[in-house]
Structure formats: C-alpha cells, structure tokens
A and B are shown apart, each in its own frame.
Chain A
Amino acid sequence: MALLEVRGLHKVFGHGRSAVPAVRGVDLDIERGETLGLVGESGCGKTTLGRVVVGLQAPTEGEITFDGEVLDGKLSRPEYRKRVQMVFQHPAQSLNRRMRVNTTLSEPLRLLDVAAKDEIRGRVDQVLRLVGLGPDYLLRGPRQLSGGQQQRIAIARALMPDPDLVVLDEPTSSLDQSVRGRIIALLRSIQAERGVAYLFISHDLSTVRRIADRVAVMYLGRIVEVAPTERIFEDPQHPYTKALLSAVPSMDLDTRGTRIILEGETPSPSELPSGCSFQDRCPLVHERCRTEDPVLRPHGGDRMVECFAVTERAR
C-alpha cells in the first residue's frame, strides 16, 4: 500500500466561463521513502497538484488516501500537517522576514504539538545540524542569510514535525547552479537518514534526474507519462516527453542542433480542444486524438503512458 494515493484529482479555479482547470483528473502514487519527480512546464498544474497534496488547496474532485486513510476535508488539520510538509520555490520569500530562525523553527513544534517545551531547543538544534547549520544561526533573520542558507532553514522547518512526505516545489530553481548541487545532496542525505518521501516538483529535468526514483510528466493538468527515472531519460515514449527532453540544452557538443522544436505554445487551459490536449503540437497526431481523450495506460512493464500513438502501437 503506497504512502500516498491520489485518484481522479481535479482542481478548477474560478467558475463558469472564467473557470480554469489546473488539474484535470490525476492519478498518482508515492511510496514510502521514495522520491517522485513531477516535471512539466509552466501552466501544467504541477504546483497546484503539490499544493492540493499538502493541503493548502482543497481539491474540486477526487480522492486522496494517506497511509491507508481516506482524507476528506482533513487536509488542513494539524494531524496531516505533522506528516505532510512543503518547501517552496523562493527561499527569501518563504520565510517570515521579521522572524528569527529560532522562532521560525520552533513554531511548528509548538503549534503542531510535536514536542514538549523542554524538548524544543534540543529538537531545533538537531534538525539544524541535519541541514548542515549550527546553533549560531538561531538568532539570525532571513536577511542575514544567503539563498542557500535560507532554503536550508526552510527545509529544516518542514522537517521539524518529522513528516513522512515533503512536497518540494521548485526548491532549487531560485538558487545558483553551485548551490543547487549542495541542496540536492542535502535532501538525499536527509532522505537516507530519515526515510522521508519527496514529491519533487520541477521544470528542471537535470535536477530531477539527480534525485528522483520515478518521474511523472505533466502537460496541461494531466499526467502523460510515469516511469523510473533512468527509463524516462533514456527512452522517453510520449511525444511531449520526447520534445521536453530534447529541448534541454546539453553540454555535449555533438548534439548541437538536434533539438525537436515544437510548434506553437501551450494552449490556455480554459480553451482546451476535445480529445488529447497535445493535438495541435504533436508530431504523431491522428484522427482519434482529436475526438477521444487518451488515458494513462501501462506500457512496457514499468511505466504508464497516455497516448494513443504509443500505447496502441503494439496492436
């Protein structure tokens, strides 16, 4: 039984004519202690999905099961907050600039009732060490920290209640290249030590590759492909996945000029055509794609793909 099971998740913002369907029917599983990478470009709904999973946003439709228990309106309760946490994209912004580190870190312990008063200091020190910082940081404010240090504090804050799952929304996108590597390494060592699962959301494929066990690719609110990390990178199946991977600039000089260039731009989520949402840009498009909605199907034993051209090819 997976730690987190998401079935038929929908999230629509607004109503009537100005309704924007950010997530359009997503099924997802995250196992204990694993890292699921969630990739996609802007507007694909990955951030929204992350926020619904962590309980900052209520789903419009669908079912979320955590540790065997079906959650229904309980996503914003302290009990859930103790077990599912989040790290955000902009480290400086995600910390209260008027609060010192020790307050920021002790707050979850006090409010979520995780530790007794005399244990708080010890726990804070412990987690601070876990993220590679010492007690000399306790009295500092966010303005006195570098980007990487701020993000470490944000990670520490998420880890304070000892959660089972941490959703990370573009945690390294705002950081320098060299700092990125350190934070990724930090996250991996924490996972090794604490066994926490990650939902790692990012548009940066190279970063995801270094930390994820499995990768799910999202396009316009739906998951189009899910597979183990190396399988996705070495042998992408869905045409969007292929274009996405091809577009990533690589330092390998021999691949210069071999990019798959997609036509046009991502359509607006409020004006989607019937059938597959990728139809206007897909090199493999045919009749069926315009009339029928494709569904995620198992393909090749270890993955799921949502594309008629791919899954029906075997026939």
Chain B
Amino acid sequence: MSYGGPVPPDYGDPHAPGERAEEYLAPEIAGEASALPLWRRKPLLVVGAVILGIYIVVAVLGPLFVGDPRVTDPANFYQGPSWDNLFGTDKFGRDVFARAVHAARLDITIGILIAFFAMVIGSAIGVVSGYFGGWVDEIVMRLTDVVLAFPGFVLALVLVAAIGNSIPNVVIAVTVAYIPYFIRLTRAQVLAERELEYVDGAKLAGNGPWRVAFRHVLPNSLGPSFVQAALVAGWAILTVAGLAFLGVGIRPPTAEWGVMVAEGAPDIITGQWWTALFPGGMIVAAAMAFQFIGDDLGADVL
C-alpha cells in the first residue's frame, strides 16, 4: 500500500506462471536449466569483448612496437600495403599502420574516458535528483531537457568551437553531451529503488540521507548505466572521429582515426584507398564492438 508513490517491484512474489524456468525454480535447479555456456547464450557479448580485447592490447602495447607515427619519408609516399608497411604509407610517407596503432591508443582511451566521466558525473547527479526530489530535481530535469534538445554531435561541435580545439576540450565537450543520458537512467532507477525496504533498513541503521543515497541506493541503481556506458564509449569514438573529420577538436598532425580519414578521403579518388579505409574500418570495428557489448550485457551477467 503506497499512498500515491510509485509501485515497487514485488520481490517476495512467488509463482507468476509462464515465466522462464530460471526465474521459477529454486537456484539449485535454475543453474541446470540455464547450463549453456556464455558464448552460446550471449554470442554478441563475447564477439564484442574479444574485439575490444584486441583493441586494448593494441592500444596499450602497440605503440611500443611500431615506429614513430610522425616520421615522414617523402620518398616512400603512397605505397600500397606491403610487408614493410602493413597498411601502406600516406602522402607524407608516414606508415599508416603505425599511425593507426597510435590512434587506437588515443581513441580507445578517449572513448572509455568519456563514457566513464559521463557515467560518474551523470549518475551522481541522477541520484541526488531522484532521491531528494523537490526543486533540485525540477531544475536538473529542465536542464537535461535543454541539453538533450540538441543532437549530441551538434552540441559537441558547438562546445569545442567555443572552448577551443584540444584533446582535453574534446573530451569535456563530448562528455557533457552524454551526461544527461546517465542522469535520466540513474534517476529512473533511483525512483524505483528508494521505495524498497532496504532503504528504510539503511535509515534505521543510522545512515543519514546522503549516505543512504550514495552508499545504498546508488550502487543498486547503476545496472542500466553500465550497459549505457558501453554504448556511449562506442558513440563517443564515432563523435570524436566525426569532429576530427570536420577539422574540429583533434587536428593533424595528431594521429587520430578521424583525422586520418579526413586526410585520406581525397586519396580515394586517385586510387590510394588504404589511407582512409584502414582507419575508417578501425572506427567501425571499435564502435561495433562496444555496441555488441552494450546490447548483450544484461542483468544476468552484471
């Protein structure tokens, strides 16, 4: 019985007919019924994780093994892919592979950082907004409405243009564009969680309101945010690359996938397909990897 509040999920509810076996049976039996290995149950997650794993290895170790991405070798320009230059060379004779590997370090790191900061900041605001409600909640909601009214890419574009082109600024701008997602997501979960009995239990154990919100409610409200974070990491890479392609944010001669695609795009017409294709392909694969992970990451894995 709640007087006007949202209805909490009923944890003590046995036997809703027609549910899946795992939810129905005692844990000992449910384990049997869902005995399929992870790669069969969630193939996308595994594929995505493998690809991401490869990227991380490349990003961390790669730059130690490949050459300097800035070294130019004018005599060697526009060479196609060969054993010396796996991805060929660009118009300055730079090794495209080396550049792509260094760009991987940059882009993957940026993608993860943006997702991380957006999630941390967004969920903190979401918890405060959802748990304490009142005028704070009203203000936060209206602000997120405003931010979400702009397409993320456009917003990031405008912000970077305003604060200047640099890597930290790009991270800040794109993070700001994605924070509202996490605010909304966390807040929604918090609204449901705060009606549950363990919140009362926490109060009786002596937790003040801030501790209840951050120590108890927040950890239980982050589930959907982790999924969103995986997706946001992928989108962030696309956004950053897209901005760089337009010449905003990260600019040449920094080795960044979007920059490389921008530099290599005109080469396609003249037949040097490798300068744009490889970095472009890496963007796509990275974004897809994060997308797969986010799509298949469910409550049962977290």
Contacts and interface: CB of A to CB of B under 8 A. Distances in A.
Interface of A: 13-14, 18, 20, 22, 42-43, 47, 51, 54, 56, 76, 78, 81, 85-86, 88-99, 104, 107-108, 110-112, 147, 154, 157-158, 160, 174
Contacts of B201: 86, 88, 94-96, 154, 157
Nearest to A22: B3
Contacts of A51: 200
Given A42-B1, A90-B12, A96 B206 contact: no
Interface in B1-44: 1, 3-4, 8, 10-12
Interface string B196-207: 111011111111
Contacts of B204: 54, 56, 81, 85-86, 108, 158
A93 B198 contact: yes
Contacts of A96: 198, 201-202, 216, 220
B53 to A, nearest CB: 27
Contacts of A85: 204
Contacts, number: 81
Nearest to A57: B200
B206 A107 contact: yes
B11 A78 contact: no
Given A13-B4, A20-B4, 7 more contacts: A54-B204, A81-B205, A86-B200, A92-B11, A93-B11, A94-B201, A96-B220
A44 to B, nearest CB: 10
Q: Which size bracket describes the interface of B in this complex?
A: 20 to 34
A92 B220 CA distance: 14
- Name which of B4, B11, B207 has the most chain A CB atoms within 10 A of its CB: B11
Nearest to A114: B206
A181 to B, nearest CB: 18
Contacts of B3: 13-14, 20, 22
Given A14-B4, A112-B206, A154-B201, A97 B220 contact: yes
A85 B206 CA distance: 11
Contacts of B4: 13-14, 18, 20
Given A43-B1, A92-B12, A96-B216, A108 B197 contact: no
18 contacts: A13-B4, A14-B4, A22-B3, A76-B203, A81-B206, A86-B200, A91-B12, A92-B12, A93-B11, A94-B198, A96-B202, A96-B216, A99-B216, A111-B206, A112-B205, A112-B206, A154-B201, A174-B12
A137 to B, nearest CB: 16
Nearest to B201: A94
B266 interface: no
Contacts of B247: none
A111 B206 CA distance: 5
B95 to A, nearest CB: 48
A116 to B, nearest CB: 16
A80 to B, nearest CB: 10
Contacts of A47: 1
B216 A88 contact: no
B206 A93 contact: no
A86 to B, nearest CB: 6
A97 B198 contact: yes
Given A20-B3, A111-B205, A111-B206, A89 B12 contact: yes
Residue of B3, B11, B211 ringed by the most chain A CB atoms within 10 A: B3
A78 B206 contact: yes
A13 B1 CA distance: 12
A209 to B, nearest CB: 23
Nearest to B8: A93
A81 B201 CA distance: 11
B12 A95 contact: no
Task: State the 5 A-B residue pairs at the shortest beta-carbon distance, nearest first.
Answer: A111-B206, A174-B12, A94-B197, A13-B3, A108-B205
Given A14-B3, A20-B3, A93 B205 contact: no
